[in-house]
Structure 1
Amino acid sequence: MKNIAGQKPALLWATHLAVAFMVILWIIPTFGLLVSSFRTGDQISTSGWWKSLFATEQVEGFRIASPEDQVQEGDLYVIEGNVFTDGGAEANTLSAWGTSSRDVSAYAPGDVAELRDGGTITIAENGDYRLENSEPFEGSRGERVFGTVSEPPTFTLENYDRVLFSGSSTDGMQKAFLNTMTVTIPATVIPILIAAFAAYALAWMDFPGRALLIAGVVALLVVPLQLALIPLLKLHLNIGIGKGYMGVWLAHTGFGLPMAVYLLRNYIAGLPRDIIENARVDGATEFQIFTRIILPLSFPALASFAIFQFLWTWNDLLVAKVFLIDASGQTTVMTNQIVELMGTRGGDWEILATAAFVSIAVPLLVFFFMQKYLVRGLLAGSVK
C-alpha cells in the first residue's frame, strides 16, 4: 500500500511539516499571551513569558535609614536595617548592588563599599545593610543605593478581576463584551438568512438574469470594503440609522453577503437533483423544499459561513470605528476598548495582555467547537 500509484511520500511529509509549522506559529503567541495575562506588570516588563517559571531580576533603588537612626557602638557610629523593609520592595534576594546609578552592580552581597561622605556600607543577600563611620552621620536623608533584585515567579488572578469585574470604564471589559455580542450575533444571523434564500434561488430556480447575478456576486468578492465605507456612512446618516447598532448590523450584512451567497450557492448546487425533483413531483412548494430539505442538508455550509462571519465581525475594528462611534463609551466594542487601554493605560501591560486574551477567547471556543463543520462546509461541492 506504500507504493500506490499517485502517492508521493515526500510531498506528504512536506505537507505535514508545513501544517505543523503553521500550528506552532499560531499556538506560541497565543500561549504566550495566556501566560502574560496571569503575570504582574513588573514581570512582563522585565522578562519574557517563556521565563515566567523562573526568578526574574530587575534593578531597583532603595533609600536606607536616615542619620537620625544611627547608634554609637564604641568608637563607631552605626546605621542598620533592611533595604527591602525600609524601601517597601517585595523581593527576597539581592544578587548585586551599588552606590551609584552608573554602576548598579559594582558590589556583590557582603562586599564593603566606601561612601563619598565618609564611612563604609555593606549589604547582605537578604537585604540587611550596615553603615559604619568613625564620625557621626550627617544629613536629613539616608543614603541612596541600588540593587539587582531577584523576584520569584508569581501568578495572579487580579488582572482578570480588574478586566472582568472592576466595573471601571477605563479598565473593565464587561460593557465592551456585551456590546461586541450585541453587534456580532445579529451581524452573523442576518446575512445567513438573506444569503440562504438567495443561494437557493441562484442554484435551483430558473429566472432571467441568473447568470449575471452569479457573476455580480463573484465580482463583489474582490471589492474592498474600505471603498464603500464613506458612501455607506453618508447613506446611513441620511436615512437616520448611522452611528448605531442598526447601522453597523447592515454594514456587516452588506460586506458579508457576497461571500455568504457564493459559499452557500456552491454547496446547495452540489446537492442531489433527484431529491429536489422528487419533492416537486410530490407537490412541495419551493418554500417547503427550502425549509425542509435544503436547510437541513446545508447545515455544514451554514455553520462554515457562520464561523467566518462571527470571527470577522468579532475582531473587526474599522467598521465599528466608522458606524458605531460613541464618545461616552456606551457602545464601545472590545477591539476599540483595547485600543483605548493602549492609549490611556499603556504602561499597564498586564491589563492589556488580559484584555487581549479575553477578546480572543470567544473566537477560539467558536472555532474549536465548530471546526468540523468548517471543514465539511469548505470541502463540500468541491469534488463531484
Structure 2
Amino acid sequence: MNAVAGLRRIGLPRLIVHLSVLLICIIWLIPTLGILVTSFRDPAQITSSGWWTAFSSASQTTASRLADPPAARQEGTNYVISGSVFEAGQGGTVRAFGTRVAAPGEFQAGQPADLGEGETLTVNEDGSYTYTKNGPFESERGRRVYLTIATPPTFTTQNYNTVLTSQGIGQSFVNSLTVAVPSTIIPILIAAFAAYALSWMEFPGRALIIAMVVGLIVVPLQMSLIPLLRMYNEIGTFFGVPSRSYAGIWLAHSAFGMPLAIYLLRNYIAGLPKEIIESARVDGASDFEIFIRIVLPLSFPALASFSIFQFLWTWNDLLVAMVFLGTNREQLVLTGALNALLGSMGGRWEILTASAFISILVPIIVFFALQRYLVRGLLAGSVKGG
C-alpha cells in the first residue's frame, strides 16, 4: 500500500495517461506522414520502396540492352563492345548485374563476369560496361542485362502540379469550399438565434421543442435524405430553382446539422451567468441587442466547436453532394473527384497521395486554428446546461 501511495504521489497515473495519449497521436500521425512523404516522391521510387526509406538510397531492378554487335571493335584477337547501360538523362549507382531475369544481382558491379563461350562482361558502378568475346559476335542485337541500381532520394512537386492542373482536382477543391463554407455558416446563424430563444425566452412549448431537437439528433441521415430531396425538388419546381444547385446542398447540410448545433449552443448559452442577462434587460436592452452584444461574444467557444464538426462533415461528405449536386464534373466535390481517381488511377500512388493530402489540408488548418476552443466549448456546454 505504501508503494502504491508513493507512485500516486509522484504522478504515475498522470504519466500513464500522457504516454497513452502520445502513443495514440503517433499511431494516427504515421499514416498522414506516409501520405505526405509519398506525395512528394518520384513515381519510380514509390513502386520500388516504402515511404519510410524516402530519405535513403532506394534499390530497384531494371533492364537494359547493350550496344548491337556491329558496333564492336577488334582489339587483337578479341572483339569489344563498350558504352553505358544508362540512357541519356538517367543516373544512379549500379550495385549488381546479371544476364537472367531470375538473377538480376548475380554479379557484383566492377567485377568481370564470365558468361561462357569466351564472353566476359564488366559493368561498373557508374554504368559504363565492357563486353568482350574472343571472336566475332554472332547475334545481330545487343545482349539484355538486368541491373540492380541504387538511386538517391528524389522529391518533386510535379505530382501536385499534375493533380491541380490536369486531373480536375483544382476545380473540385473550389467546389468543396463553395459547399462547406456556406453549409457551416448558415446553420450556425440560425441555430444561435434558436439556442438563445430556447435558453432565455419564455414561451409555450419550449420544453417540447427542446425534446424534439434532441430526438432529431439521432435520426439517420439516410432516412431523411430522400424525403428532403423530394421536398426540395417540389419547392424548386414551384419557384423555378434548378434541381441540381448549390442552394440545395446548402439547405440540406444546414438541415442535417441544425439539431446538433441547436443542442450544443443551447447548452452553452443556458449556462451563461444569469446576472449579465438580467442586468442588460434592466438597462433596457432588447433580446436582439442582448444576443448580438453579449451572448454571441461570450459563446464564441461553442460556435467554434460546432464549426469544426460541421465543416469537417460537409468537407468530407460524398453522399449528400452526389444526391444534390450530381456527378457533373463542373460541380463534383473533392471527395467525388478522389473517388473517380481511385477507379482510373489505382496504380498511380503519387497522384492518389497528392490528391489525398490536398483533401485533408484544409480540415487540418481549420482544426488547428480552432482546436483551442473545442474542448472549452464542449465541456462548458455539458456541465452548464440548464
TM-score (norm 2): 0.90
Paired residue for 2:338? 338
Letter in 2 for 1:231: P
Paired residue for 2:357? 357
Q: After alignment, is 88-97 or 42-51 more displaced? A: 88-97
Paired residue for 1:192? 188
Paired residue for 1:311? 312
CA distance in 2, matches of 1:214, 1:8: 46
CA distance in 1, matches of 2:9, 2:272: 30
Paired residue for 2:26? 24
Paired residue for 1:257? 258
CA distance in 1, matches of 2:118, 2:332: 61
Answer yes or no: is 1:106 the counterpart of 2:99.
Answer: no
Secondary structure at the counterpart of residue 103 of structure 2? coil
Describe how 1:51-200 pairs up with structure 2 within 5 A.
Answer: 51-85=53-87, 88=88, 90-115=90-115, 119-164=119-164, 166=165, 168=166, 170=167, 172-200=168-196
Q: After alignment, is 199-208 or 107-116 more displaced? A: 107-116
Answer yes or no: is 1:34 the counterpart of 2:30.
Answer: no
CA distance in 2, matches of 1:212, 1:330: 44
Displacement of 1:76 after TM fit?
A: 1.3
Paired residues of 2:302 and 2:381 also in contact (CA < 8 A): no
CA distance in 2, matches of 1:45, 1:109: 23
Letter in 2 for 1:41: P
Answer yes or no: is 1:275 the counterpart of 2:271.
Answer: no
Displacement of 1:115 after TM fit?
A: 4.5
CA distance in 2, matches of 1:340, 1:138: 52
Secondary structure at the counterpart of residue 330 of structure 1? helix
Paired residues of 2:93 and 2:151 also in contact (CA < 8 A): yes
Displacement of 1:114 after TM fit?
A: 4.8
Letter in 2 for 1:179: N
Displacement of 1:312 after TM fit?
A: 1.4
Secondary structure at the counterpart of residue 141 of structure 1? coil
Paired residues of 2:175 and 2:332 also in contact (CA < 8 A): yes
Paired residues of 1:233 and 1:323 also in contact (CA < 8 A): yes
Displacement of 1:118 after TM fit?
A: 6.4
Equivalences, count: 374
CA distance in 2, matches of 1:220, 1:20: 36
Residues 186/8 of structure 1: CA separation in 2 closer, same or farther (3 Å cut): farther
Secondary structure at the counterpart of residue 228 of structure 1? helix
Paired residue for 2:239? none
Displacement of 1:73 after TM fit?
A: 1.3
Answer yes or no: is 1:226 the counterpart of 2:260.
Answer: no
Paired residue for 1:326? 327
Paired residues of 1:59 and 1:147 also in contact (CA < 8 A): yes
CA distance in 1, matches of 2:177, 2:107: 57
**For 1:178-205, what per-residue CA distance to the aligned partner results, in whole angstroms no more than 9, with x for missing partners?**
1111101100000001111111111112
Paired residues of 1:121 and 1:132 also in contact (CA < 8 A): yes
Secondary structure at the counterpart of residue 94 of structure 2? strand
CA distance in 2, matches of 1:28, 1:47: 17
CA distance in 2, matches of 1:14, 1:222: 35
**For 1:11-47, what per-residue CA distance to the aligned partner results, in whole angstroms no more than 9, with x for missing partners?**
3223212211222122222222222221111112222
Structure with more helix by fraction: 2
Contiguous gaps of at least 5 residues in structure 1: none
Paired residues of 1:66 and 1:142 also in contact (CA < 8 A): yes
CA distance in 1, matches of 2:225, 2:350: 34
Displacement of 1:61 after TM fit?
A: 0.8
Displacement of 1:117 after TM fit?
A: 7.6
Displacement of 1:7 after TM fit?
A: 8.0
Displacement of 1:267 after TM fit?
A: 0.1
CA distance in 2, matches of 1:298, 1:349: 44
CA distance in 2, matches of 1:176, 1:186: 16
CA distance in 1, matches of 2:149, 2:292: 68
Secondary structure at the counterpart of residue 148 of structure 1? strand
Letter in 1 for 2:56: F
Answer yes or no: is 1:47 the counterpart of 2:49.
Answer: yes
Residues 146/292 of structure 1: CA separation in 2 closer, same or farther (3 Å cut): same
Contiguous gaps of at least 5 residues in structure 2: 237-241
Over the residues paired in the alignment, what is the CA RMSD in angstroms?
Answer: 2.3
Letter in 2 for 1:49: W
Paired residues of 1:91 and 1:149 also in contact (CA < 8 A): no
CA distance in 1, matches of 2:64, 2:311: 52
Secondary structure at the counterpart of residue 330 of structure 2? coil
Residues 64/238 of structure 1: CA separation in 2 closer, same or farther (3 Å cut): farther
Paired residues of 1:91 and 1:150 also in contact (CA < 8 A): no
Q: After alignment, is 244-253 or 260-269 more displaced? A: 244-253
Q: After alignment, is 374-383 or 266-275 more displaced? A: 374-383
Paired residues of 1:338 and 1:355 also in contact (CA < 8 A): yes
CA distance in 1, matches of 2:373, 2:160: 32
Letter in 2 for 1:312: W
Residues 118/239 of structure 1: CA separation in 2 closer, same or farther (3 Å cut): farther
Determine which of 193, 205, 209 is the counterpart of 1:209: 205
Secondary structure at the counterpart of residue 94 of structure 1? strand
CA distance in 1, matches of 2:234, 2:49: 52
Letter in 2 for 1:56: A
Displacement of 1:67 after TM fit?
A: 1.5
Paired residue for 1:348? 348
Paired residues of 2:41 and 2:350 also in contact (CA < 8 A): yes
